[in-house]
Amino acid sequence: MGFSCGIIGLPNSGKSTIFNALTTLSVPAQPYPFCTIEPNVGIVPVPDERLIKLGSILNPEKITPTTIEFIDIAGLIKDAHKGEGLGNKFLSHIRNVDAIAHVIRCFSTRNIPHVYPDIDPGRDMEIVETEIIISDLEIVEERLDKIERLAKVSKDKSLIERDLLFKIKETLEKGAFVRMETFDENEREVIHSFNLITTKPVFYIANIDEENINNIPMNGLEALIRSKGRRIVYICGKLEQDLASLSDDEKSSYMELYGMKRMSIEEVIKVGYEMLGLITFYTIVGKEMRAWTIPKNTTCAKAAGKIHSDMERGFIKAEVINYEDFVQCGSEHVAREKGMLRIEGRDYIVKDGDILHIRFNV
Ligand SMILES: Nc1nc2c(ncn2[C@@H]2O[C@H](COP(=O)(O)OP(=O)(O)OP(=O)(O)O)[C@@H](O)[C@H]2O)c(=O)[nH]1
Ligand SMILES: [Mg+2]
């Protein structure tokens, strides 16, 4: 799995429409608020040109891309933490994801009701983020209650956790995301167990009008997002949802018509991989060629463990060639003859595009 991504936003901002566009599924996306109640989950293969190219050289029986999971949840509104709308408990469905996509309504279509009479992406963004912060604050306060009781019995560990919880509480009370704070390694590990949404990397999806696809009036949204050091992807949700169900040929002609360079799933994956510092490596085992996702700076033995724990445990060495070199050689035979296949040990840092042949013994 590449990464998992939870989709948040106001009702009728187009979360389910964009979920459909990204996953090519067809979950209900209707012009009334709170159309989504139960979460929708979709797993999508990561489009990978390198994998296709390798497939054309090596002709394996099976090609398995890496995948990404999207989770589309109900809409949040102002005061969701007080029970407005569907409340905020449904956020539990995205507490374990790796990244958050925040969909912001930038299309104005009149017959699709918005929570507010006007389109104001900056305001909408702040409302949703405030609710996310308050929801994390609730978790921190619950945990603090528990820890205070535990601290009466066993002081050592619970006091460290209590101090950390106070530090996080202070950050959230200032209206900031916990992710903006710096923590040491141990603290980060404890914080991870709290499953706070504001510790996760966020990027924004501006859901724009199909009529304004090349001319987007954003009311300073982009500047606001960049000032937070975050990323924004522009998607014309409705159009892409419709395109997602077409054949490749039909899709290409419509994309040309609308001046679209690529489908936004590719952009979303690119942003996600960059934000999370992920890379892809490849294996060819028997008849299967497969792409895998790992964080940058992963050692060869750890990468092998991603495939199977036995491979990490019994790791001996790996034959490695990078995609670029392999394609230049044109075949494994030529790569071997030219001595391009290197032998690397367990501490070798795997590079993006490496093709690994792992030798192990258990
Ligand atoms: N014109 C236009 N309509 C859109 C766009 N994106 C979504 N819509 C429409 O807006 C309505 C709401 O879309 P949904 O995807 O259901 O919105 P949501 O955010 O999932 O809403 P909830 O599940 O109710 O929170 C639907 O009628 C969509 O067709 C867009 O880019 N342009
Ligand atoms: Mg929905």
In this predicted structure, the answer to whether residue 218 has a pLDDT above a threshold of 70 is no
Share of the chain above pLDDT 90, in %: 80
Q: Which CATH entry fits the domain spanning 4-274: 3.30.1050.10, 3.30.70.260, 3.20.20.80, 3.40.50.300?
A: 3.40.50.300
SS3 content of the chain, % helix, strand, coil (to 5): 45, 20, 35
259 Cα–ligand 1 center, Å:
22
Domains of the chain by residue range: 4-274, 297-360
Query: Atom 16 (ligand 1): residue with closest C-alpha?
Result: 29
Burial 197-213 (b: 16+ CB within 10 A, else e): bbbbbbbbbbbbbeeee
6 in ligand 1 pocket by Cβ < 6 Å?
no
- Distance, CA of 119 to CA of 12 (rounded, Å): 12
pLDDT value at residue 124: 94
Question: What letter represents residue 139's amino acid?
Answer: I
Q: Is the pLDDT of residue 112 over 80?
A: yes
For the chain, the residue count is 362
The answer, yes or no, to whether residue 216 has pLDDT greater than 70, is no
Please identify which residue in the block is written with the tokens 């445990």: 313
Q: Give the predicted TM-score (pTM) of the model.
A: 0.94
User: In which residue are the tokens 């999508």 written?
Assistant: 44
Element containing residue 123 per DSSP (H, E) = helix 121-153
pLDDT, residue 214, reads 60
> 202 has which bridge partners?
100
Rg (CA), the chain: 23
Spatial distance between the Cα atoms of 57 and 330, rounded to a whole number of angstroms: 7
Domain at 297-360, CATH from 3.10.20.30, 1.20.58.1910, 1.10.3470.10, 3.40.50.2000: 3.10.20.30
pLDDT in tens, 285-335: 889 999 999 999 999 999 999 999 999 999 999 999 999 999 999 988 899
* 140 has pLDDT over 90: yes
Query: Which residue, among 281, 243, 242, has the nearest Cα to 262 in the 3D structure?
Result: 243
Mutate to test the pocket of ligand 1, among 13, 16, 17 (most ligand atoms within 8 A of CB): 17
Residue to substitute in 23, 35, 71, 78 for testing ligand 1 pocket (most ligand atoms within 8 angstroms of CB): 35
Asked if residue 342 has pLDDT above 60, the reply is yes
If DSSP codes are grouped into helix, strand and coil, which group holds residue 227?
Answer: helix
Beta bridge partners of 358: 318
Rounded-to-integer distance, Cα 105 and Cα 210, Å: 12
Report phi then psi at 247, rounded to 5. -70, 165
In the numeric block, the tokens 């919880």 are attached to 165
Closest C-alpha to 79, from 106, 112, 115: 115
CA of 98 to the centre of ligand 1 (A): 24
Ligand 1 pocket member 311 (CB < 6 A): no
**Comparing C-alpha atoms, which of 72, 61, 64, 94 is closest to residue 2?**
64
Cβ–Cβ < 8 Å for 219, 120: yes
- 166 pocket-lining for ligand 1 (C-beta < 6 Å): no
92: nearest Cα among 230, 21, 244, 195: 195
One fold for both 4-274 and 297-360? no
Q: Report whether pLDDT(217) > 60.
A: no
* Per-residue pLDDT tens digits for 42-96: 999 999 999 999 999 999 999 999 999 999 999 999 999 999 999 999 999 999 9
Two structure tokens written together for 232: 């924004």
The mean pLDDT value of the chain amounts to: 93
Count of Cβ atoms closer than 10 Å to residue 167 Cβ: 15
Average pLDDT estimate for 262-274? 93
- CA–CA gap between residue 302 and residue 275 (Å, rounded): 21
Q: Is the CB of 19 under 6 A from ligand 1?
A: no
- Contact between residue 341 and residue 325 where contact means Cβ atoms under 8 Å apart: no
Cα–Cα distance measured from residue 38 to residue 93, given in angstroms and rounded to the nearest whole number? 9
Average pLDDT over residues 133-147: 95
Rounded mean pLDDT, 3-29: 96
Residue 20 CA, closest ligand 1 atom number: 15
232 three-state secondary structure: strand
Pocket test for ligand 1, best of 238, 242, 243 (most atoms within 8 A of CB): 238
